[in-house]
Amino acid sequence: MNPLARTPRSARILPGLLLALPVLALAVIGSGSASAVGSPSRSPHDQRPHVRPDHDRGGHDRADIVVAADGSGDTTTVQGAVDLAPAGSSARTTILIRPGVYQGAVTVGADKTGLTFVGATGDPEDVVITDDRANGTPKEGGGTWGTSGSATVTVAGAGFEARGVTFANAFDEAAHPEIANRQAVAVKTMADKVVFDHVRFLGNQDTLYLDSPAADVPARVYVRDSYVEGDVDFIFGRATAVIEGSTIKALRRDSTPDGYVFAPSTSKEFAHGFLVTRSRLITDADPGAYALARPWHPSSAPDNDPRLVVRDSYLAAHLAVDAPWATMSGYDWTPGSNAEYRNSGPGALVTDARPQLDARTARAYEVADFLRGDDGWSPQDGPRC
């Protein structure tokens, strides 16, 4: 089987929207920025109420800026809403995004602090922000985008939050066999105090890039009740990050191995790397086809200290039981920095190759330990989406 023969990315973004294409008047609004190309219908099983145009689903954040495809809001593009937000504000700015597929890259600059993206219906399938660039995609002015440049959404503004939204990179590997470097990021974060609550991240290689501004500048990210999919190193980076109560799906690639779920690249200056807790690691790949993680040592940081703890989670059979921790570019994984605790499922069988925390040590690997920092940040205690 051709290893690139897979369901096109666009078919996974919004199946309901694709089925409705003949009856929708779709038009790209604007150019060069994320704009809506259609409004999907809500899932029939989702009976959650719509929100008022000026409020989010929970009613606790007033919408300061509204994005709407039909022109009934303040702007038709997500980037346009970011541009309208005040720079350097100490107050939170809430951007309400009405249903639609918004095509084009979005950048939240370092001066755009305290922004919140809120999907108007609360269902992340209803609001999709997508683009289709890969590392090797040519730029109009010459050169290629690179991994960071491929990101659909780049977040550099501290305090960014998103709820009820899908972030996708729709780069179609099968349609571009001429492109060798296929890293295609859906979201790259490089800011502190970032929260994703009830969102979806869709991609293949390098879907979710959790970075920090510099090797000596910590950045914390909290992902809750969300969905992430991909195949190669699809959750990676040097940030301190917690993924809680989420579903992490490894996609079938029909290669050997199919891929790697995590590729932490923790700075040696940081106290913590990645923590995955109370989550489900699922797949449509064959048993044993995936490694749980491998350590990423970029050429700019060969002496970093990649760290990952997966605890209290369900692991499906796609994880290689005898060798879940892989090497990368000649670098071995470090048992003292990577471990598991109290996982379940067919992919969680304990072997000599799988370091386990004891109960006493595990008490130092809770959500609060990773996120509190010096300022007592505790997003896990806030209201749920």
Assigned token pair, 332: 């071995």
How many helical (H) and strand (E) elements, i.e. helices and strands, does the chain have?
6, 26
From CA 26, how far away is CA 36, in angstroms rounded? Answer: 9
Structure tokens at 103: 């095509």
291: Cα separation from own chain's centroid: 19
Confirm if 158 and 191 have CB atoms less than 8 A apart.
yes
**Catalytically annotated residue among 233, 254, 305, 381:** 233
Give per-residue pLDDT as tens, 73-93. Answer: 999 999 999 999 999 999 999
CA distance 194 to 104: 22
**Type of residue numbered 89:** S
**CA distance linking residue 4 with residue 115, whole number of Å:** 37
pLDDT score of 12: 54
Strand partners, 195: 161, 222
Mean pLDDT for the chain overall = 87
Question: Which has the closest alpha carbon to 268: 233, 221, 219, 301?
Answer: 301
Give the span between the Cα atoms of 73 and 278, in whole angstroms.
Answer: 38
| Mean pLDDT along residues 184-204 | 99
Q: Give the phi and the psi of residue 9 in degrees, each rounded to 5.
A: -55, -40
What stretch of H or E contains 263? Answer: strand 259-264
8 Å CB contact between 16 and 43: yes
pLDDT score, position 334: 80
Q: Which two tokens stand for residue 43?
A: 């899932």
Domain range list for the chain: 28-379
Instruction: Output the pLDDT for position 4.
Output: 31
- How high is the pLDDT of residue 329? 87
* Weakest-pLDDT range from 30-39, 66-75, 107-116, 207-216: 30-39
Cα(96)–Cα(223) distance, rounded to whole angstroms? 20
For residues 4-10, give the mean pLDDT.
42
Helical segments of the chain, H only: 9-13, 15-19, 78-84, 146-149, 359-362, 367-371
Q: Name the DSSP letter for residue 187.
A: E
Catalytic residue flag (residue 352): no
pLDDT tens, residue by residue, 266-295? 999 999 999 999 999 999 999 999 999 999
Does the domain at 28-379 match CATH 3.40.50.2000? Answer given as: no
Where on the phi/psi map is residue 50: left (φ > 0), alpha (ψ -120 to 50), or beta?
Answer: beta
- Residues 6 or more apart from 327 whose CB is under 8 A from it? 294, 295, 333
Percent of the chain with pLDDT over 90: 75
pLDDT digits (tens, 9 = 90+) for 144-162: 999 999 999 999 999 999 9
Confidence of residue 13 (pLDDT cuts 50, 70, 90): low
Residue the block writes with tokens 């099968």: 174
Least confident of 27-31, 109-113, 139-143, 254-258: 27-31
Amino acid in position 120: A
Which of 29-38, 104-113, 282-291, 305-314 has the least mean pLDDT?
A: 29-38
> Is the pLDDT assigned to residue 354 strictly greater than 50?
yes
**DSSP code, position 66:** E
Q: Do 130 and 168 meet the contact criterion of CB atoms below 8 Å apart?
A: yes
C-beta separation of 308 from 336 below 8 A: no
Task: Write down the pLDDT at residue 29.
Answer: 35
